[in-house]
Structure 1
Amino acid sequence: MRFRPRYALIALLALTALTLTACGGGKVKRVSEPAASIQQLTVGNDGNWEVELRLRNYSSMPMRFDSVSLAVKVGDETAGTLSATPSLSIGPESADVIKVRLQPASTARIVVADSLAGGRSLFYELEGTISATPEEKKQRSFEVKSRNSLNQAPGLPGVLR
């Protein structure tokens, strides 16, 4: 039997590829800062707001969202603080929505009423903390700061999306 270097090289490359494939089987678990935004703001008959808060998990593993405390600003006016303890598990790179009631400051009510009456966009800011627990890890507190806008929902009076 004669030694053929070409077949030996092919066998060595195949063995190397199999070894690398076996070693790379584990999924990398990464914890990223979550995000929050207002998905919908509904002004109630009593002037209070029901806020649908969208919580986004950018991590590659599930996270349990334990508490949320976010100061809300509409236009240039402070509205109040959205506080909740959802104890909600959100899968990797996914989002979910929680409802939070808010009794806004009177100046913020005026800004929202003006936006609704004029059919204009409402600019808002959220700033505060989200406490979340990544899968099999300790609870962490994440600083959140975001700016965005809402527009009047067609055919739904008192609703901004």
Structure 2
Amino acid sequence: MKLAILVRAALILLAFSLLAACGGGKPVRRINPPAVSIQQLAVQADGRWQLELRVQNFSTVPMQFDTFEAGLEIEGANAGSIYVRPALEIPGQSADVVSATVSPSREAAERLAQSARDGSIGYQLRGEVVTSEPNRKFPASHASRLSPVPGRPNTYR
């Protein structure tokens, strides 16, 4: 009888200990470098490029994105500079899209036209992302490929 009471008390104590261990304090704040990539590139009638930039927050906390400044290369040719001030808050582990316009170099525009005929376009972004919350500067570098969008001339994703 006494043994059964002791076993029950030990099981109850064990259950409460396990329950307390699961509920620990606040979530861990992890600040990780964000990533910026081109979600879409559309060639406008005047020759400028309209970019949709995907900004990804890999941190566990919301971040306030103030500026993004980068150089853009298309198939190894300098296409120009990107500078945007999105003033955008992105929740942790989320992403959002910002727009930018680039007046590409002649060489980059020619490479884009040639690559479009070949099927896909390689690009590279190199620059810096500045956040105000938290107050940090992150290097940004991304290389990938864009493909023509079927049914949408002069548009690449």
Category of TM-score, reference length = shorter chain: over 0.9
What is the aligned residue count? Answer: 156
Partners in 1 of 2:69 and 2:62 — Cα distance? 21
The structural deviation recorded for 1:44 is: 1.0
Partner of 1:159: 155
Q: Percent identity?
A: 35
What is the rounded CA distance, in whole Å, between the counterparts of 1:61 and 1:2 in structure 2? 51
**Structure 2 counterpart of 1:14, one-letter code:** A
1:28 paired residue number:
28
Tell me the CA shift for residue 119 of structure 1: 4.5
> Which secondary structure state, in structure 2, belongs to the residue aligned with residue 101 of structure 1?
strand
Asked if structure 2 preserves the Cα contact closer than 8 Å seen for 1:63 and 1:89, the reply is: yes
Q: How many Å apart are 1:66 and its aligned residue?
A: 0.3
Name 1:99's counterpart in structure 2.
99
> Any idea what the Cα deviations from partners look like across 1:53-108, whole Å, max 9, x if unmatched?
11001111111110000110000101111101110111111111111011111100
| 2:136 equivalent to 1:143 | no
- Give the match for residue 74 of structure 2: 74
1:126 maps to which residue?
A: 125
TM-score (norm 2): 0.92
Distance 1:132 1:15 in 2: 42
Residue type matched to 1:51 in 2?
L
Task: Please give the residue correspondences for 1:29-44 in structure 2 after superposition, counting only pairs within 5 Å.
Answer: 29-44=29-44
Is 1:58 aligned to 2:58, yes or no? yes
For the Cα contact (< 8 Å) 1:119–1:152, is it kept in 2? no
CA–CA separation in structure 1 for the residues paired with 2:119 and 2:57 = 30
Query: Where in structure 1 are there 5+ consecutive unaligned residues?
Result: none
Structure 2: state its 5+ residue gaps.
none
Taking the aligned partners of 2:22 and 2:51, their CA distance within structure 1 comes to: 48
The normalised TM-score by structure 1 is 0.90
2:20 corresponds in structure 1 to 19
Superposition deviation, residue 31 in structure 1: 0.8
Distance 2:102 2:156 in 1: 15
Letter matched to residue 50 of structure 2: E
